Amino acid sequence: MTHTQQNRVFGKQKQEHILILASGDQVRHLTVRPWMAAIAFCFVGVFAIGYLLATSYLVLRDDLIGATMARQARMQHDYEDRIAALRAQVDRVTSRQLLDQQVVEDKVDKLMEQQQALTSRRGKLGQLLDRAENSGLNEKNEAPASAYAPDAKGKRAELPAAMQAIETQLASNVAPAEVTPDNTTLSDVPARETIGDRADRVFSKVTLSLKGVEQRQRDRVSQLTSDASDASDTISGVLTRFQIRVPAESASAKSNDDSAVGGPFVEPEAGDDFDNSLAQLDTALTRLETVRSTAASLPFQNPAIGKEITSPFGNRRDPFLGRLALHAGVDFRFAPGEKVHPTAPGKVITAGWTGGYGNMVEVDHGNGISTRYGHMSEILVKVGDTVDRQDTIGLAGSTGRSTGTHLHYEVRQNGRAVDPIYFISAGTKLASYIN
């Protein structure tokens, strides 16, 4: 191949692509460069990809929308289930709270009944304690009647502070803190504990507190009944030794129309043990008051406390005749004009000059017993007067068969003189019951 031929083959010029655009008389030549072709190809490729993507989206859109809607439906179903569960839980909590509140109210009513029962006993128990104190049974160190019976200042005021706190907290739908009957807060209880559980513990404490009050009442009533019976037996024993009849019941309890009674027989009402114990205490106190009243009306007191006995009761040498004679009383040394008091209440049956007694006063005390007070310088009472132990019946002197100023004191039972020392000694034993 010649050189000329080689130039023809390898030296051949590459032809350009020319785009001719004609519009009427105008003709334009546009040379198509390689980069333009590349841009056009890229544009077509991008358009094709976009078209494919749009087509795929349109094809898959229904599936995506269906999946989204299904997911939203599941979420809504779960939400509705959660709402229903919460609503059911609220209903359960509300029902439980209402039930707990009803239980608490029932227990409050029971405690109110117990409190009212204790309060209703206050009148009876207070009267009996006052009677026991008047009979000398209550010692100074004993608690007052209010310690055995709670105060009552209205229906709600009767509730202990613990119960009021529970009611307030239930009204505000707040679980109550545990409180004791004296209104002191204890340590916190576990959170899972319900209102009813806490209320049970609180009410148990309040109930125990009320039962403690009731038990103290029972113990006190039982003790007073025993003390009253012992005191009655002691006084009755002394009265029996002096052959004094002990009345079976007080005169105020008797009726002049005992025979004018009647009516159909009906079984007695069943009373509780506490009421029965109060009835027993009332019976014991009535008996004690009866024998105590009888003993208080008799001359068991000393007519001359702290005075010297100048001549005892019994046979002695008569100071005027010098021979043996019965001294029917006891002589006490007195100062001239000193006041003379009777040893028991009674009625004056003699007041004036009486033989060897000189100026003498005799007081009748009932039950066949009387006392005589002789040798007084002046008499300050008259026959028919009613006198008490604090009254002055005369002034000491030396009238009648007397060798000096003194008080001649006699005790007579059914007209017979007895040794006054017996009565004075018995009075010492009975001092805590009849004074």
Q: How far apart are alpha carbons 339 and 283 in whole angstroms?
A: 41
Q: Are 352 and 360 in contact (CB under 8 A)?
A: yes
User: In what helix (H) or strand (E) does residue 355 lie, and over which residues does it extend?
Assistant: none
In a domain, 213, yes or no: no
Could you report the per-residue pLDDT of 206-239, keeping only the tens digit for each?
Answer: 777 777 777 887 888 888 888 888 888 888 888 8
Q: Which among 323, 313, 248 is positioned nearest to 286, based on CA atoms?
A: 248
In a domain, 85, yes or no: no
Q: Which among 74, 133, 98, 164 is positioned nearest to 285, based on CA atoms?
A: 133
What are the φ and ψ backbone dihedral angles of 379, each rounded to 5 degrees? -105, 135
At 253, the pLDDT band (50, 70, 90 cuts) reads very low
At 205, the pLDDT band (50, 70, 90 cuts) reads confident
Report percent pLDDT > 90 for the chain. 24
* Structural domain of 326: 309-434
For residue 359 the two structure tokens come to 């100026």
Q: How far apart are alpha carbons 423 and 6 in whole angstroms?
A: 181
Q: How far apart are alpha carbons 168 and 174 in whole angstroms?
A: 9
Instruction: Give Rg (Cα) of the chain.
Output: 58
Q: Which among 388, 393, 335 is positioned nearest to 362, based on CA atoms?
A: 393
Write down the mean pLDDT value for the chain: 77
Q: Which residues contact 132 (CB under 8 A, 6 or more apart)?
A: 138, 224, 227, 228, 281, 285
Could you report the per-residue pLDDT of 306-322, keeping only the tens digit for each?
Answer: 899 999 998 888 888 88
Could you report the per-residue pLDDT of 262-318, keeping only the tens digit for each?
Answer: 778 776 655 567 778 888 888 888 888 888 888 888 999 999 988 999 999 988 888
Is the model more confident about 328 or about 265?
328
pLDDT(199) > 70: no
User: In what helix (H) or strand (E) does residue 20 lie, and over which residues does it extend?
Assistant: strand 17-23
In a domain, 332, yes or no: yes
- Between 84-88, 172-176, 418-422, the lowest mean confidence (pLDDT) is in 172-176
Q: How far apart are alpha carbons 137 and 197 in whole angstroms?
A: 45
pLDDT(351) > 90: yes
Dihedral sign computed on CA atoms, order 78, 84, 89, 93? positive
What are the φ and ψ backbone dihedral angles of 367, each rounded to 5 degrees? 55, 25
In a domain, 33, yes or no: no
For residue 294 the two structure tokens come to 């009888």
At 169, the pLDDT band (50, 70, 90 cuts) reads low
pLDDT(101) > 80: no
pLDDT(168) > 70: no
Q: How far apart are alpha carbons 220 and 215 in whole angstroms?
A: 8
The β-bridge partners of 26 are: 23
Q: How many domains does the chain have?
A: 1
pLDDT(364) > 70: yes
Kindly compute the dihedral angle of the four CA atoms of residues 420, 424, 430, 434, in this order, to the nearest 10 degrees: 80
Could you report the per-residue pLDDT of 381-429, keeping only the tens digit for each?
Answer: 999 999 999 999 999 999 999 999 999 999 999 999 999 999 999 988 8
Q: For residue 187, what pLDDT is reported?
A: 44
**CATH code at 332?**
2.70.70.10
In a domain, 303, yes or no: no
In a domain, 346, yes or no: yes
Quick count: other Cβ atoms within 10 Å of Cβ 221?
A: 24
pTM for the full predicted model: 0.57
Q: Are 363 and 379 in contact (CB under 8 A)?
A: no
In a domain, 26, yes or no: no
In a domain, 385, yes or no: yes
At 11, the pLDDT band (50, 70, 90 cuts) reads low
